[in-house]
A and B are shown apart, each in its own frame.
Chain A
Amino acid sequence: MSGFNKRRLTIGILFIVALVLIAAIRSNSGDEDTIGLPLPDQTLKGTTFRLREMDLHLHSGMERPVDLETWIDLAVADGRRVILLLDHIELYRKTGDDYESWRAKGKFQARYPLGRAGHAALYEDFDSVARRKDVLVFKGWEVSEDELDSGLEMEPMRQADAIGFHISPKNGSTAPNGQTLLKRVRQIKELQKQLPIPFILFHPFPMRIENLQRTAKNQGRDPQTITVEEYRFFHSGEQEELIRLLKGSSIYIEMNRDTEKYFDDPACRAALIADILPLANAGLQFTVSTDNHHLVSAKKPFDPDRYCVPTGVTPEHCNKIVRELLAIKARRTPLKSENKLKPK
């Protein structure tokens, strides 16, 4: 075969290959249009949501810095696929004057009315963004742990998909510890008999650290001198008791973003691992969250793996609540059939 013919043959073969490839691509892209074949990277996704894809504590009410869609867009842009939107329930109990001075001090917009009308307006907004297909949205409230002693506002709580109990640092008082947490767990287990939805213990571990460091500073002590033993949340038998109370329950422990800022301190880190790892190994369930209130934090990438991996908290520990919330939503949401549906 002459060189000319060889070139013709090569060009011809290349032409054929190109035609065949174009035909194949067009055929496949046709399938994508009609049946939504997953993109290659989608097949690599895990069987559960990854940690950074979930935020079970996103403040989205009175303190929200931007409109709700933009607020969600920010979270989605950083990779969130599951969000529990909530607000502090006590904000809606403010009187008119208190509310105005609180708003002025924090430079918050007047987003929602007070009282029952505020609850309704907030949840109407949450329901509206729950129609998005790019993110799973659930509704919650953050309720102060003190209300477990002083009385709870049940009506708005009954509208929630999940409730988070704010474990307070109790700055100026005794730091949260194993005994105080066990007391709260017993209280909310009782409450759950009336209100069978998931409960989350918000940020128990960083709140203890915050208290100890602030107290040390106030006392003129260098926080760097606080020992692992002082930081330890649990003492003898308390973890075992917590495991006994929480195992198999619908009560979750939050691993919120504040954990990260304490992780660079070796003593804090050692205490956090010693406190949390046995709970994770025992199969207790957790949540991950940003606890974002402000634009600055919302624009900061969320990386819970940094503190969850060393403490043994995996995506599997944190996905149960999502499954539970989806099941609750399915049970609650009225479903009307639509005539426009076409049987296949």
Chain B
Amino acid sequence: MIRADKLGSAVHGPSRRLFLRNSRRDFLKQIALGTITAPWVGAAWAREPARRKRLAVITTEWRFHSHAWHMGERFLVGYPSRGSWHRPPLEVVSAYVDQFPENDLSRQRAKEFGFTIYPTVAEALRCGGKQLAVDAVLIIGEHGNYPKSEWGQTKYPRYEFFKQVVDVFRQDGRTTPVFNDKHLSWKWSWAAEMVEWSRSMKFPFLAGSSLPVTWRMPSIEMPYGASLEEILCVAIGGVDSYDFHALEVIQCMAERRRGGETGVAALQALRGDPIWRALDAGSWSAGGWDPKLFESCLSRSQTLSQPPTYSHRYPTNTQIREFVKEPVAYRFEYADGVKATMLLMNGLVNDFTFAARLKGETVPLSTQFYLPPTPNVTYSAGLMSQAEQMFITGKAPYPIERTLLTTGLVAAGMQSLATGQKRIETPHLAVRYHTSRESTFLRT
């Protein structure tokens, strides 16, 4: 069949009149049947059989190097996937931006990509109308100027954003999938409420860090149903920020253990000198962690600091103390007895490594959670591909309970640090869940 957009160019000479007569008749028939479109109307819907899903971005601020910039913009410009450039079948139609710093990019992006920034979350979800007018919601409550909690957590308004989204769902009688970047809230009870709403209102809800879904070197997974004894993650960054990423590294592996997730019974955070005593302790029971796990993590690092003139030498404990000025540790015990330690070792490493002792295994299972460098930070594409999958299928690829638990661990860690590094019993973190056997990290 000759398409209507070839009209006038495909047929010339004597046959043109016949063509015009026949094609006009055919064309009218086809229009009546709705099987053809003209090139001058609705080029987008002419090419696309199904309407692209409509996405609202709700964010604290949208500037260079912000999470809205490297997460949200994946839905504007696409991202690489398996050696080709993937263009998500979603259209950003609206946004709510809470703060506009001088280097704000949201307005520029809105102009370039044709979406509208609304002054409230509700208006963004309704696109200025009276009913919910989007098919998916991306909440990015990271960065911006917000007050601190009594324990030093930044009070990013993720709960407040989420609540306003849920309120629109409730008022308008319809829900959509929701993705929340990073942990759910600075406040445990609010995080629990958020999960409860998604359950009771039955909408898909996904959250968390890009670490669980980024590449691993080596590309290994925790065997499903493994019997775990102890886990360690050595990472970079500060508290109330990168601690969450490191905890998600631990949790995405720990949740696959035999019996599934049982929750965390207690946590103690350490900072400064107590860390060095823990480093020398030689075992979890002596107040530290398994030195073999620590060695495995440092051996998986590709950024291990070195004394002058050396390229790659394993550091002594004395050197580690010299490299690291403000170490932080969260030592916590799962309800089923598994022990875990998260170490933030700025100055020693510049990456995220993981090691676990499996029952009956002499060699720890270890890997690096690889973060590709700037400017492309491709790990954020990995996370957004998971969000996209949920937006399209309506099914969260992994349980929200993972991030509920890590949210509670961040809050407990900050509380412990702010209250004399005391051990905190965490009965509220009895978060029980099972994850699927399927892996969700990037491999191709």
Q: Is the CB of A47 within 8 A of B106?
A: yes
Tell me the smallest distance from the CB of A306 to a CB of chain B, in Å: 22
Q: Is the CB of A47 within 8 A of B97?
A: yes
Q: Is the CB of A12 within 8 A of B203?
A: no
Tell me the smallest distance from the CB of B281 to a CB of chain A, in Å: 42
Assembled-state Cα–Cα distance A21/B34 (Å): 13
Q: Which of A216-224, A267-275, A321-329 contacts B (4 or more CB under 8 A)?
A: A321-329
Write the chain B residue with the least CB distance to A41.
B128
Q: Is the CB of A341 within 8 A of B163?
A: no
Chain B residue total in the interface (Cβ 8 A):
59
Q: Is the CB of B175 within 8 A of A19?
A: no
Q: Give B359-394 interface residues, CB cut-off 8 Å to A.
A: 394
B161 proximity list for chain A (CB < 8 A) = 330
Q: Is the CB of A36 within 8 A of B24?
A: no
Write the chain A residue with the least CB distance to B171.
A133
Q: Is the CB of B119 within 8 A of A46?
A: yes
Assembled-state Cα–Cα distance A327/B106 (Å): 21
Q: Is the CB of B160 within 8 A of A35?
A: no
A289 proximity list for chain B (CB < 8 A) = none
Q: Give B38-86 interface residues, CB cut-off 8 Å to A.
A: 38, 40-42, 45, 51, 54
Given contacts A16-B31, A344-B175, contact A335 B120 (CB under 8 A): no
Q: Is the CB of B38 within 8 A of A337?
A: no
Q: Is the CB of A344 within 8 A of B129?
A: no
Assembled-state Cα–Cα distance A340/B171 (Å): 11
B24 proximity list for chain A (CB < 8 A) = 12, 16
Assembled-state Cα–Cα distance A48/B128 (Å): 13
Q: Give A231-289 interface residues, CB cut-off 8 Å to B.
A: 248
Assembled-state Cα–Cα distance A333/B110 (Å): 31
Q: Identify which of B31, B110, B132, B133 contacts A20 (C-beta below 8 A).
A: B31
Given contacts A248-B145, A344-B175, contact A330 B160 (CB under 8 A): yes
Q: Identify which of A31, A248, A342 contacts B174 (C-beta below 8 A).
A: A342
Q: Is the CB of B132 within 8 A of A36?
A: yes
Q: Is the CB of B119 within 8 A of A322?
A: yes
Q: Identify which of A16, A27, A327, A341 contacts B45 (C-beta below 8 A).
A: A27
Verify if A106 is at the interface (C-beta below 8 Å from B). Answer: no
Assembled-state Cα–Cα distance A46/B31 (Å): 39
Tell me the smallest distance from the CB of A42 to a CB of chain B, in Å: 4
Verify if B271 is at the interface (C-beta below 8 Å from A). Answer: no
A49 proximity list for chain B (CB < 8 A) = 119
Assembled-state Cα–Cα distance A276/B338 (Å): 61
Q: Identify which of A24, A316, A327 contacts B157 (C-beta below 8 A).
A: A327
Q: Is the CB of B27 within 8 A of A16?
A: yes
B117 proximity list for chain A (CB < 8 A) = 47
Verify if B135 is at the interface (C-beta below 8 Å from A). Answer: yes
Give A1-41 as 1s and 0s: 1 = Cβ < 8 Å from B's Cβ atoms: 00000000100100010011101100100010001111100
B394 proximity list for chain A (CB < 8 A) = 343-344
A290 proximity list for chain B (CB < 8 A) = none
Q: Identify which of A36, A43, A342 contacts B133 (C-beta below 8 A).
A: A36
Verify if A183 is at the interface (C-beta below 8 Å from B). Answer: no
Write the chain B residue with the least CB distance to A248.
B145
Verify if B333 is at the interface (C-beta below 8 Å from A). Answer: no
Q: Is the CB of B164 within 8 A of A326?
A: yes
A31 proximity list for chain B (CB < 8 A) = 51
Verify if A226 is at the interface (C-beta below 8 Å from B). Answer: no
Write the chain B residue with the least CB distance to A316.
B100
Assembled-state Cα–Cα distance A297/B173 (Å): 39
Q: Is the CB of A344 within 8 A of B174?
A: yes
Assembled-state Cα–Cα distance A333/B51 (Å): 35
Given contacts A36-B126, A327-B160, contact A27 B42 (CB under 8 A): yes
Verify if A105 is at the interface (C-beta below 8 Å from B). Answer: no
Verify if A193 is at the interface (C-beta below 8 Å from B). Answer: no
Q: Identify which of B110, B119, B135 contacts A344 (C-beta below 8 A).
A: B135
Verify if A298 is at the interface (C-beta below 8 Å from B). Answer: no
B160 proximity list for chain A (CB < 8 A) = 326-327, 330-331
Tell me the smallest distance from the CB of A190 to a CB of chain B, in Å: 17
Write the chain A residue with the least CB distance to B115.
A43
B116 proximity list for chain A (CB < 8 A) = 38, 42-43, 45
Give B168-205 as 1s and 0s: 1 = Cβ < 8 Å from A's Cβ atoms: 01110111110000000000000000000100111110
Verify if B345 is at the interface (C-beta below 8 Å from A). Answer: no
Verify if A211 is at the interface (C-beta below 8 Å from B). Answer: no
Q: Is the CB of A330 within 8 A of B164?
A: yes
Tell me the smallest distance from the CB of A126 to a CB of chain B, in Å: 17
Verify if B11 is at the interface (C-beta below 8 Å from A). Answer: no
Q: Identify which of A16, A42, A322, A343 contacts B202 (C-beta below 8 A).
A: A343
Write the chain A residue with the least CB distance to B193.
A335
Q: Is the CB of B163 within 8 A of A331?
A: yes
Q: Identify which of A20, A24, A45, A323 contacts B128 (C-beta below 8 A).
A: A45
B174 proximity list for chain A (CB < 8 A) = 341-342, 344
Verify if B286 is at the interface (C-beta below 8 Å from A). Answer: no
Q: Identify which of A36, A330, A337 contacts B200 (C-beta below 8 A).
A: A337
Assembled-state Cα–Cα distance A330/B132 (Å): 18
Verify if A311 is at the interface (C-beta below 8 Å from B). Answer: no
Q: Is the CB of B167 within 8 A of A47?
A: no
Write the chain A residue with the least CB distance to B162.
A330
Verify if A338 is at the interface (C-beta below 8 Å from B). Answer: yes
Q: Is the CB of A47 within 8 A of B100?
A: yes
Q: Is the CB of A19 within 8 A of B31?
A: yes
Assembled-state Cα–Cα distance A35/B125 (Å): 11
Give B118-140 as 1s and 0s: 1 = Cβ < 8 Å from A's Cβ atoms: 11110000111111110100000
Assembled-state Cα–Cα distance A342/B107 (Å): 34
Q: Is the CB of A340 within 8 A of B173?
A: yes
- Which residue numbers of A lie inside 8 Å of B, CB to CB? 9, 12, 16, 19-21, 23-24, 27, 31, 35-39, 42-43, 45-49, 133, 136, 248, 316, 319, 322-323, 326-327, 330-331, 333, 335, 337-338, 340-344
Apart from A42-B127, A343-B203, list 10 A-B contacts with CB within 8 A: A20-B31, A21-B41, A36-B126, A45-B128, A47-B110, A47-B118, A326-B160, A338-B173, A342-B174, A344-B174
- Which residue numbers of B lie inside 8 Å of A, CB to CB? 20, 24, 27-28, 31, 34, 37-38, 40-42, 45, 51, 54, 97-98, 100, 106-107, 110, 116-121, 126-133, 135, 145, 157, 159-161, 163-164, 166-167, 169-171, 173-177, 197, 200-204, 394
Sorted nearest first, the 4 A-B pairs with minimum C-beta distance are A36-B129, A36-B133, A337-B200, A47-B117
Sampled A-B contacts (13; CB under 8 Å)? A20-B31, A21-B41, A42-B127, A45-B119, A45-B128, A46-B119, A136-B120, A316-B100, A322-B119, A326-B164, A330-B159, A337-B170, A343-B202
